[in-house]
A and B are shown apart, each in its own frame.
Chain A
Amino acid sequence: MSVIAEHGGIAEHIHPEPQGFVRKYVFSLDHKIIGIQYIITAFVFFVLAGCLAEIIRIQLMHANGGFVTANTYDEVYSIHGSAMVWLVIIPMLTGGFGNFVMPVQLGARDVAFPWLNMISFWLFPVAGLMLFSSFLMGAPVAGWTEYPPMSLQGGAGTSMWCAAIFLVGVSSTLTGINFLVTILKMRAPGMTFTRMPLFCWGQLATAPLLMIATTALAAALAALFMERQFGVPFYDPTKGGSPVLWQHMFWFYSHPAVYIMILPAFGIMSEVISVFSRKPVFGYRMIAFSSAAIALAGFMVWAHHMFTSGIAPYMQLPFMVLTFAIAVPTGIKIFSWLATMWGGKIHLTTSMLFALGFLVLFTFGGISGVFLAAIPFDLHVHGTYFIPAHLHFVLVGGSLMGIFSGMYYWFPKMTGRYLSEFWGRVHFALFVIGFLGTFLPMHWLGAEGMPRRVASYDPQFQWVNQLESIFSFIMTAAILIFFVNMLYCIRNGKKAGHNPWGARTLEWQIPSPPPYYNFKHIPSVFGLPYDFTEPLPYTHLEDELTDAPVTVGAQ
């Protein structure tokens, strides 16, 4: 491929295209390859953490447990939660989709710091292996939140857990810095903030959270590690430390982390719903700014996780009110998407089905979140199955449905081939049935007072738990279908062409899979990408699908 040098520009991040296998697919600097590496790695960890989930469900089939010992059960749910949060959902949505889609949507040739991007990625599988290896030395048993003093006891695996999460946190922080600079500085000419696709707005709101919140977690983890390994007293109350300190530091990270896990999924929703309704996004600015509002408010609500931890009553009330307030920008998004669909020409593709599922299930989880923000209700259900019910509705019904929707939507861009729509529908139907059967009854169990994180329970709840376990097998079957669908369609799927959905964002205007340089000429942008009745708001794209040489530099 010949390259003509013109005058330079901000998109001038040109490295010669690598030729060897290792440089091209292993230690790649290309944001698209790195994005796919993230997605594959995260799916591998998803399978492992999913197996742990099934161990939990099999154990709960009988009120007395018996499938694994109580201690192993504790290890299993601790690693299940940690892996799903840090090794699956966060890397998938930020490192995976963020890397693959965001630079192309901005009209850039790569992220701001390709080397840093590669380092971020390679820290992630290492951290994942460390996390799972903690099983070999006595895995953590205090849940994914690892509250001291329980996390101060236990085997060496808890220290390994600290190190693994610290490492994946470094990876997240570097990704956040990289993405923020990319969005601030690498947009194509004319791509103002108010012309950016909403997926990029989702990433723009997420990047500061990744950068700032994750560092706070790093401090908390470092202190826990020092206390466990060297006896430095931060959290042990018998030596003057405070277990509540950990809760403050942990939730100062982990509440924003909730938004790290959902804001990019909101971005995917905005793209998918607009494209498959063939209508401009309703309230573009409101959706964009509500992402920023959620990110900002996310830093000021962490103590709503601690209403039962003995924090002062004068602190509880503002946290409750602020948490209620977050429902407002979230509601703005939900209603904007509904208004986007209103009167649109809705195409019920698998991707759109998952988006619709997201709207229902996430709203449900959001409403139970508002319940939990109310102090009296929270005091009643804290530590019961109501909490797993709520968090699985927002993380599985929200983030994971968003990931599935994004996979069906962008798979043709990644591989040039469709995923099977028929098996996609089967996947959707089974997944939603399994999901509702597994997690909906947990609300009732929680309200009845069944405690979470115990290996055996009151026999009167046994039939509900058995029902949930059976439905969880249906959910697992649905996910297996999804994986077989992906593996089969990478080589044998129907060819999709460069723009199978008729979408208007920049990534769909170039061939699938995108060439190494993304764009032959850096495009100029003069409008929003969502106006389906107008011509495309881009110039300089006429050569993208031809054999014309690559031009280096922006026009």
Chain B
Amino acid sequence: MAVVSIPGGGEVDQLYADTRELRLQGFLLFLVSDVVLFSSFIFAYLYLRNSGQGWPPPGIARPPISLAALNSAILFGSGATMHYALENFKRGNFLRYSSLMLWTILLGILFLCGQGIEYTTLYFQDHVSWAGSGIFGASFFTLTGMHGFHVFCGICYLVVLLLQSVHGVYDKNKYFGLTAGTLYWHFVDVIWVVLFSIFYLI
């Protein structure tokens, strides 16, 4: 199998270099279709929100911004640790990479815990539920729940990636899985920016 050099100075076989491009593009297109999925639900939420009852609808209090802001900080922090994890892996700094990956996973779990606290408060204290609180409950729990599910999938994916890299699946020049994981994690971050703005800020 022929060997080609790649930007950055390493050498990989041609098959990897070619399929890497295909997989990267395929993965990006998958993220695009996921953006459309979120956009559709966001459109539905904004459409219902503007259908005339005022927002939030009478009898429902907005969820507190403080917990959500703390949660956002945790998620954005995990985006940073993920970024530096990949950078360290590229430089061959495996130990730092592993600990940063662990931090990313931990922060992701913390984010989900924060969301769990928010959900239980809303449900038990304010009696806001998915099906019983009109369009507020429907759109809030559906959208944040869908995002939470994406975070959960992301955590599972990162655990798999970490185990794979411990077993030596990736090396300094071949790390497409880690690229995909990083892209996915940043994607989840960006979606959260939008959700945070439309549910808590405006």
**A residues engaging B (CB < 8 A)?**
5, 7-10, 12, 112-113, 116, 173, 176-178, 180-181, 184-186, 211-212, 214-216, 218-220, 223, 226, 230-234, 239-242, 245, 248-249, 252
- Interface check B21, CB cutoff 8 A: yes
* Given known contacts A216-B36, A241-B48, A8 and B130 CB-to-CB distance under 8 angstroms: no
Contact A240 B33 (CB under 8 A): no
- Interface check B67, CB cutoff 8 A: no
* Given known contacts A8-B13, A226-B142, A240-B53, A233 and B134 CB-to-CB distance under 8 angstroms: yes
| CB interface residues, B 48-70, toward A, < 8 Å | 48, 51, 53, 57
Q: How many whole Å from A232's CB to the nearest CB in chain B?
A: 5
15 of the cross-chain contacts (CB-CB < 8 Å) are A8-B15, A9-B18, A112-B22, A116-B26, A176-B29, A177-B26, A180-B29, A184-B25, A216-B39, A219-B41, A226-B138, A232-B131, A232-B141, A233-B135, A240-B57
* Given known contacts A219-B37, A233-B134, A185 and B21 CB-to-CB distance under 8 angstroms: yes
Contact B26 A230 (CB under 8 A): no
Return chain A residues, CB-CB under 8 Å to B36: 212, 215-216, 219
Closest to A112 in B: B22
The 4 closest A-B pairs by CB, nearest first: A8-B14, A219-B40, A215-B36, A240-B134
Q: A177-B33, A216-B39 are in contact. List 18 more A-B contacts (CB 8 A).
A: A9-B18, A10-B18, A116-B26, A173-B33, A176-B33, A211-B33, A216-B37, A216-B40, A226-B138, A230-B130, A232-B130, A232-B141, A233-B134, A239-B135, A240-B53, A240-B134, A242-B51, A249-B43
Contact of A248 among B1, B2, B47, B53 (CB under 8 A): B47
Contact of B142 among A7, A8, A223, A245 (CB under 8 A): A223
Return chain A residues, CB-CB under 8 Å to B138: 226, 232-234, 241
Contact B40 A215 (CB under 8 A): yes
Interface of B is mostly: helix
Return chain B residues, CB-CB under 8 Å to A233: 131, 134-135, 138
Contact B33 A215 (CB under 8 A): yes
How many angstroms from the CA of A220 to the CA of B41 in the assembled complex? 8
Return chain B residues, CB-CB under 8 Å to A218: 37, 40
- Interface check B30, CB cutoff 8 A: yes
Closest to B27 in A: A177
Q: How many whole Å from A171's CB to the nearest CB in chain B?
A: 13
Closest to A219 in B: B40
Contact A245 B29 (CB under 8 A): no
**B residues engaging A (CB < 8 A)?**
1-2, 13-15, 18-19, 21-22, 25-26, 29-30, 32-34, 36-37, 39-41, 43-44, 47-48, 51, 53, 57, 130-132, 134-135, 137-138, 141-142
How many angstroms from the CA of A240 to the CA of B58 in the assembled complex? 12
Closest to B47 in A: A245
Return chain B residues, CB-CB under 8 Å to A245: 44, 47-48
Return chain B residues, CB-CB under 8 Å to A180: 29
Q: How many whole Å from B138's CB to the nearest CB in chain A?
A: 5
Return chain B residues, CB-CB under 8 Å to A8: 1-2, 13-15, 18
Contact B30 A177 (CB under 8 A): yes
Contact A113 B131 (CB under 8 A): no
How many angstroms from the CA of A226 to the CA of B26 in the assembled complex? 30
Return chain B residues, CB-CB under 8 Å to A216: 36-37, 39-40
Q: How many Cβ-Cβ contacts under 8 Å join chain A to chain B?
A: 111
Contact B131 A181 (CB under 8 A): no
How many angstroms from the CA of A72 to the CA of B33 in the assembled complex? 37
Closest to B38 in A: A219
Interface of A is mostly: helix
How many angstroms from the CA of A143 to the CA of B27 in the assembled complex? 35
Q: How many whole Å from B101's CB to the nearest CB in chain A?
A: 27
* Given known contacts A9-B18, A219-B40, A232-B130, A242 and B29 CB-to-CB distance under 8 angstroms: no
How many angstroms from the CA of A233 to the CA of B57 in the assembled complex? 14
Q: How many whole Å from A552's CB to the nearest CB in chain B?
A: 10
Contact of A5 among B1, B32, B43 (CB under 8 A): B1
Contact of A12 among B14, B134, B142 (CB under 8 A): B14
Q: How many whole Å from A189's CB to the nearest CB in chain B?
A: 13
Closest to B44 in A: A245
Return chain B residues, CB-CB under 8 Å to A220: 40
How many angstroms from the CA of A230 to the CA of B141 in the assembled complex? 13
Q: How many whole Å from A102's CB to the nearest CB in chain B?
A: 16
Return chain B residues, CB-CB under 8 Å to A234: 44, 48, 135, 138
Contact B26 A113 (CB under 8 A): yes
Contact A181 B2 (CB under 8 A): no
| From A177, A248, A249, residue with most partner B Cβ within 10 Å | A177
Return chain A residues, CB-CB under 8 Å to B142: 223, 226, 232
Q: How many whole Å from B140's CB to the nearest CB in chain A?
A: 11
Q: How many whole Å from B66's CB to the nearest CB in chain A?
A: 27
How many angstroms from the CA of A177 to the CA of B19 in the assembled complex? 15
Q: How many whole Å from B33's CB to the nearest CB in chain A?
A: 5
Return chain A residues, CB-CB under 8 Å to B14: 7-9, 12
Q: How many whole Å from B59's CB to the nearest CB in chain A?
A: 12
How many angstroms from the CA of A8 to the CA of B14 in the assembled complex? 6
How many angstroms from the CA of A12 to the CA of B14 in the assembled complex? 9
How many angstroms from the CA of A185 to the CA of B20 in the assembled complex? 11
Closest to B14 in A: A8
| From A223, A233, A241, A252, residue with most partner B Cβ within 10 Å | A233
Contact A240 B48 (CB under 8 A): yes
Q: How many whole Å from B105's CB to the nearest CB in chain A?
A: 27
Contact of A249 among B44, B57, B141 (CB under 8 A): B44
How many angstroms from the CA of A402 to the CA of B134 in the assembled complex? 47
How many angstroms from the CA of A112 to the CA of B142 in the assembled complex? 34
Closest to A229 in B: B131
Return chain A residues, CB-CB under 8 Å to B40: 215-216, 218-220, 249, 252
How many angstroms from the CA of A261 to the CA of B123 in the assembled complex? 45
Return chain B residues, CB-CB under 8 Å to A212: 32-33, 36
How many angstroms from the CA of A237 to the CA of B75 in the assembled complex? 36
| From B32, B44, B53, B132, residue with most partner A Cβ within 10 Å | B44
Q: How many whole Å from A151's CB to the nearest CB in chain B?
A: 16
Closest to A252 in B: B40
Return chain A residues, CB-CB under 8 Å to B137: 232
| From B14, B33, B132, residue with most partner A Cβ within 10 Å | B33
